[in-house]
């Protein structure tokens, strides 16, 4: 029965996302199965947490039956609405049939390597107790309380908890963080039928699997041939820091990187073709960043300059450059005034020490050759950086880099970079997007790209 419950806990959100992403108004006819499955699980997982918040608002006690019934109703409604949408979409099998000779053998080998790697990461999750610091200090704390109580009890800062100013409140290391991640753990625990701080983390394996599916599907949508698309998918899924966040499940950063990366990939395709489905999911996943972690607000806002450039190329490019310059001046004009940025106090103590970044990105084994690959792609394909096909993604990359620079050079987070505690977790947020950007730079210009 536990196995059936676990399967239901993993598959119901996945099915929920798939059926609703096939809604007729989204026009998903050009979407392949890998893309739909990849986006479907993450969309469904976030939707499941919203359903749980709605149930709590309505006074419905959490449980497998109450949450599962709500998900089943939504799945049936989505399937009914999309009943006339075509199901004949391209699959991995179609790509396999298009290959021949050594390419087919290489494709099969890569698939096998990826499958073995993901299976190994799954065993790490199953075998290892809840181990990472923040996983049990600020995420699973909420999950355990909400699982036992059956509702969303408030979490407040320690000072308020000690003062008893909020009735029925609890506290932990980050009481202000969004509830999505612990709610996923609560749902998995109810599906299992008991509290288990190991098996409740299986969504982290699902996140890696579906990130790979979405990446591959979107690379194929960009006209990358099957073997290189799968090769870059392997590059992404073999990144040591990404794999660590799967094996040491319980942090929010893997989900943040996946959701932000999927939003960026969809944004790239929408910016070139104005595809309705790509535009809709880009918007949904950009907003989804806000549900995962407090800095998700900043990651969502990085799309605004890119959107400006897509709609008004010349004015947007010049305006974005002007905003960057004025923003830099404003940062130094702040002085020691107490200004809060997503929970990080801004100050003038600018730290220009790039050693932690150079060592973590280039010298250590955290990222394989990702940053060298990105630098090489920029050098080799420098003519395409501001070409119509890549302009939006380039500005998005600049926005993301600027956001990290502000956080690590102008807030208290600079100390967390120097002691190597947060730097790689933050870089993970943009790693899937950066890998896709490298793929984009290697593509030939398309006649369908908007001018």
Q: What is the mean pLDDT of residues 152-164?
A: 92
**What residue ranges do the domains of the chain occupy?**
2-251, 290-441
Indicate the average pLDDT of the chain. Answer: 89
8-state DSSP, 127: H
The model's confidence at residue 447, banded by pLDDT at 50, 70 and 90, is: very low
360 touches 424 (CB < 8 A): yes
**Interval 338-349: pLDDT, tens:** 666 555 555 556
The angle that helices 391-410 and 423-441 make with each other, rounded to 10 degrees, is 160
The model's confidence at residue 49, banded by pLDDT at 50, 70 and 90, is: very high
User: According to the per-residue pLDDT averaged within each range, which of 103-107, 203-207, 329-333, 346-350 is highest?
Assistant: 203-207
Strands (E), 253-396: 339-341, 344-346
Residue 4, pLDDT score: 92
Q: Taking 90 as the threshold, does the pLDDT of residue 8 lie above it?
A: yes
75 touches 317 (CB < 8 A): no
8-state DSSP, 82: T
Any idea which residue has 């220009």 for tokens?
A: 352
**Interval 205-226: pLDDT, tens:** 999 999 999 999 999 999 899 9
200 touches 206 (CB < 8 A): no
Residue 92, pLDDT score: 65
The model's confidence at residue 445, banded by pLDDT at 50, 70 and 90, is: very low
Backbone angles phi, psi at 344, to 5 degrees: -110, 120
């Amino acid at each position: 029965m536990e196995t059936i419950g676990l399967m239901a806990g993993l598959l119901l959100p996945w099915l929920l996302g798939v059926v609703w992403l096939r809604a007729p108004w989204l026009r998903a006819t050009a979407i392949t199965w890998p893309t739909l499955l990849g986006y479907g699980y993450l969309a469904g997982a976030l939707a499941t947490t919203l359903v749980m918040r709605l149930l709590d608002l309505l006074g419905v006690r959490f449980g497998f039956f109450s949450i599962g019934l709500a998900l089943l109703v939504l799945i049936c409604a989505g399937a009914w609405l999309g009943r006339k949408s075509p199901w004949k979409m391209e699959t991995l099998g179609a790509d396999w049939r298009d290959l021949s000779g050594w390419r087919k053998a290489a494709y099969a080998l890569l698939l096998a390597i990826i499958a073995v790697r993901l299976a190994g990461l799954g065993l790490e999750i199953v075998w290892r107790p809840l181990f990472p610091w923040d996983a049990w200090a600020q995420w699973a704390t909420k999950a355990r309380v909400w699982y036992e109580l059956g509702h969303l009890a408030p979490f407040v800062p320690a000072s308020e908890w000690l003062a008893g100013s909020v009735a029925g409140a609890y506290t932990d290391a980050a009481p202000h963080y969004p509830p999505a991640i612990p709610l996923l753990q609560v749902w998995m625990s109810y599906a299992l039928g008991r509290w288990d701080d190991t098996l409740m983390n299986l969504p982290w394996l699902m996140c890696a699997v579906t990130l790979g599916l979405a990446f591959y599907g979107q690379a194929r949508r960009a006209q990358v041939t099957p073997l290189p698309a799968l090769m870059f998918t392997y590059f992404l899924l073999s990144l040591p820091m990404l794999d660590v966040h799967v094996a040491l499940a319980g942090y929010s950063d893997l989900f943040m990187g996946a959701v932000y990366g999927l939003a960026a990939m969809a944004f790239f395709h929408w910016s070139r073709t104005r595809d309705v489905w790509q535009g809709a999911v880009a918007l949904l996943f950009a907003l989804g960043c806000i549900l995962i972690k407090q800095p998700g607000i900043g990651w969502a806002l990085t799309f605004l300059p890119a959107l400006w450039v897509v709609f008004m190329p010349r004015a947007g490019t010049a305006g974005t450059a002007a905003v960057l310059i004025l923003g830099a001046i404003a940062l130094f004009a702040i002085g020691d005034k107490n200004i809060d940025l997503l929970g990080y106090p801004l100050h003038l103590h600018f730290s220009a020490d790039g050693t932690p970044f150079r060592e973590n990105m280039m010298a250590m084994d955290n990222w394989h050759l990702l940053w060298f690959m990105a630098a090489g792609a920029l050098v080799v394909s420098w003519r395409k950086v501001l070409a119509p096909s890549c302009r939006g993604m380039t500005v998005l990359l600049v926005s993301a880099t600027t956001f990290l620079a502000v956080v690590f050079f102008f807030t208290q987070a600079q100390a967390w970079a120097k002691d190597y505690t947060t730097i790689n977790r933050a870089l993970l947020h943009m790693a899937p997007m950066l890998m896709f950007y490298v793929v984009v730079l290697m593509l030939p210009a398309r006649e369908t790209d908007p001018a």
